[in-house]
Amino acid sequence: MSTIKVERRPSPERLKELGVSNWPIWTKEASEFPWTYDEPETCYFLEGEVTVTASDGETARVGRGDLVTFPAGLSCTWKISQDVKKHYRFG
């Protein structure tokens, strides 16, 4: 259906351009849960490691230093192997 976009170690300029430091922060302990995105989400991982598996089988391993965009309509399972701390923005 749709693709998870991962930018590995974006430059400080790119993060500043997006205003990442002003986005809210979300934290979650190691766990596994289903999730569906009603709207796109962009997030920047400060800590942690996650494997996100989409319902169509697409898998993305993401973690510290990654800028990730999840498309609207994506149904997936989050498997957090190391506690996560990330900035996020919907829309």
For each of the domains in the chain, give its residue range(s) and CATH number, in order of start.
5-90 (2.60.120.10)
Min mean pLDDT across 1-10, 35-44, 59-68 is at: 1-10
Confidence of residue 87 (pLDDT cuts 50, 70, 90): very high
State the pTM of this model: 0.95
Q: What's residue 23's pLDDT?
A: 98
d(CA 90, CA 84): 18
Whether the per-residue pLDDT at 76 is higher than 70: the answer is yes
* Pick from 39, 72, 42: nearest CA to 54: 72
Q: What's residue 2's pLDDT?
A: 61
User: Percentage of the chain surpassing pLDDT 70?
Assistant: 98
Q: Residue 38 in contact with residue 1, Cβ under 8 Å?
A: no
